[in-house]
C-alpha cells in the first residue's frame, strides 16, 4: 500500500538532503550579537526547535516523534516496480502514475500507483490521493498535505529539497518545501489552512517557506510549530538552552505589536532578509 509519510520535522529539523546540511537560524539585532540556531527533536510531526549554538555554527537535524501512517486510498497498485519517491521514480511509472513506498523491507520496496487528484498543498490521507509526482506529508497529527517529490534542490520551485523519515526512521525520503514571501500573519493565507510563512536557512542563504503553524504569540516554545502565524521560535541566549520564545516576524515597524522591526535573522553568520520585532 502507499503510505502517508511523516517528515523529519517542518523546518528547523528538516534534512536538506541535496546539500547534506540541516537548516540553521541565526538572529541579530541592532544591539545584539549574531547567534546560530541548531535544531533539536520534535514532537508528533512538529517542527524542530531553534536552539542556540555558537556564533556562526551550523545547525543539525532533529528527529520526529510522529509515527508512520496511511493507506492506499483510492489509487491502485499497478504491479510495476519503481526506484524511489523521486521525479526519476515517477517517470518509471508512466503517465498518470506515481512511485510510492510499498514495504519497509529491508530492503525497502517501491511500486507504481495510479495518481490521485490532490495538488501540492491540498489535504490528503494517503499518497495515492496526490497527483503525479507528489507524496502525502504529515506535518502533525491533523495536518497532512500533498508535497512534490524531489531528489535535489533543482527539482523544487523553492530551491529547497527537504528530507523526512519513515519506517521507524530507517528510510529517508525527499519533498519540496513550498516557497512563500510574506512572513507576517497576513502571508499565512498563501500557504493554506494550518500553515504559516517562516524563514529558513541553508548555509548563508535565507528562503521563506511554508511550515505548520501553532497558536502562541508569546511565551516559551520548543519549536516554531508552537508559534502562531507571523511568529517564530527564537532563542538568542548564549548558554546553550533549548527553549526559545515565540517572537513576532516583521517587514516594517508597523507590523510589530510591540517594539520595532530591528531584529535580523541571519544565516551562517550573514544577515538575511527576514526580520523580527525587538
> Each residue of 237-247: b (16+ CB within 10 Å) or e?
eeeeeeebbbb
71-83 pLDDT per residue, tens: 333 445 667 899 9
Handedness of CA 93, 96, 97, 98 (dihedral sign): positive
Question: 271 pLDDT exceeds 60?
Answer: yes
pLDDT at 223: 84
116-126 pLDDT per residue, tens: 999 999 999 99
With a pLDDT cut of 70, the percent of the chain lying above it is: 68
Give domain limits for the chain: 22-60+179-276, 77-176
pLDDT at 38: 25
Instruction: Report the 10 Å Cβ neighbour count for 131.
Output: 16
Of 13 and 206, the one with more pLDDT: 206
Of 2, 20, 121, 8, whose CA–CA distance to 63 is shortest?
8
pLDDT at 241: 56
pLDDT at 240: 53
Strand ranges (E), 104-208: 109-114, 134-140, 143-148, 161-166, 171-176, 195-198, 201-202, 205-206
Distance of alpha carbon 16 from the chain centroid:
9
Task: Please list, in sequence order, all residues whose beta carbon lies within 8 angstroms of the beta carbon of residue 65, skipping any fewer than 6 positions away.
Answer: 41, 42, 43, 44, 45, 46
> Each residue of 158-174: b (16+ CB within 10 Å) or e?
bbbbbbbbbbeeebebb
Q: What is the mean pLDDT of residues 171-184?
A: 91
Question: 46 pLDDT exceeds 50?
Answer: no
Q: What is the mean pLDDT of residues 28-46?
A: 25
> What is the pTM for the complete model shown?
0.71
How many residues does the structure list for the chain? Answer: 278
23-27, 168-172, 188-192, 267-271 — which is least confidently predicted? 23-27
Question: 137 pLDDT exceeds 70?
Answer: yes
Averaged pLDDT score across all residues of the chain = 73
pLDDT at 3: 53
Contact between 258 and 230 (Cβ < 8 Å):
no
What the block records as the C-alpha cell of 77 is 497498485
d(CA 204, CA 224): 20
Question: 204 pLDDT exceeds 80?
Answer: no
User: CA angle 82-88-89, nearest 5°?
Assistant: 20
d(CA 127, CA 156): 18
Question: 209 pLDDT exceeds 80?
Answer: yes
Cell match 546540511: residue? Answer: 21
Q: Is residue 51 very low, low, confident or very high in pLDDT (cuts 50, 70, 90)?
A: very low
Contact between 153 and 160 (Cβ < 8 Å):
yes
Of 244 and 195, the one with more pLDDT: 195
d(CA 132, CA 130): 7
State how far the alpha carbon of 237 is from the alpha carbons of 12, 105, 119, 128, 249, in Å.
Answer: 17, 44, 41, 44, 18
* Counts for the chain of helices (H) and strands (E), in that order: 1, 19
Of 33 and 223, the one with more pLDDT: 223
d(CA 275, CA 264): 4
What the block records as the C-alpha cell of 169 is 526512521
215-225 pLDDT per residue, tens: 999 999 988 88
Q: Is residue 265 very low, low, confident or very high in pLDDT (cuts 50, 70, 90)?
A: confident
pLDDT at 199: 82
Task: Please list, in sequence order, all residues whose beta carbon lies within 8 angstroms of the beta carbon of residue 44, skipping any fewer than 6 positions away.
Answer: 65, 66, 140, 141
Amino acid at each position: 500500500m502507499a503510505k502517508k509519510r511523516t517528515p523529519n520535522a517542518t523546518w528547523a529539523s528538516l534534512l536538506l538532503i541535496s546539500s547534506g546540511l540541516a537548516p540553521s537560524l541565526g538572529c541579530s539585532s541592532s544591539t545584539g550579537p549574531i547567534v546560530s540556531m541548531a535544531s533539536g527533536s520534535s514532537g508528533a510531526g512538529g517542527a524542530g526547535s531553534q536552539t542556540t549554538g555558537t556564533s556562526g555554527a551550523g545547525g543539525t537535524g532533529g528527529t520526529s516523534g510522529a509515527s508512520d501512517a496511511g493507506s492506499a486510498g483510492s489509487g491502485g497498485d499497478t504491479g510495476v516496480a519503481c526506484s524511489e519517491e523521486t521525479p526519476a521514480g515517477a517517470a518509471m511509472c508512466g503517465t498518470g502514475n506515481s512511485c510510492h513506498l510499498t514495504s519497509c523491507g529491508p530492503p525497502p520496496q517501491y511500486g507504481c500507483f495510479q495518481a490521485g487528484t490532490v495538488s501540492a498543498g491540498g489535504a490528503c490521507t494517503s499518497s495515492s490521493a496526490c497527483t503525479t509526482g507528489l507524496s502525502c506529508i504529515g506535518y502533525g497529527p491533523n495536518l497532512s498535505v500533498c508535497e512534490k517529490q524531489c531528489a535535489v534542490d533543482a527539482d523544487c520551485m523553492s530551491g529547497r529539497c527537504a528530507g523526512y523519515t519513515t519506517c521507524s526512521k530507517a528510510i529517508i525520503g525527499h519533498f519540496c518545501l513550498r516557497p512563500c514571501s510574506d512572513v507576517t500573519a497576513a502571508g499565512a493565507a498563501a500557504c493554506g489552512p494550518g500553515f504559516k510563512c517562516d524563514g529558513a536557512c541553508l548555509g548563508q542563504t535565507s528562503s521563506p517557506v511554508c511550515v505548520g503553524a501553532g497558536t502562541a504569540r508569546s511565551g516559551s516554545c520548543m519549536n516554531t510549530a508552537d508559534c502562531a502565524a507571523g511568529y517564530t521560535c527564537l532563542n538568542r541566549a548564549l548558554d546553550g538552552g533549548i527553549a526559545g520564545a515565540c517572537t513576532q516576524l516583521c517587514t516594517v515597524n508597523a507590523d510589530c505589536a510591540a517594539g520595532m522591526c530591528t531584529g535580523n535573522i541571519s544565516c551562517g553568520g550573514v544577515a538575511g532578509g527576514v526580520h523580527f520585532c525587538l
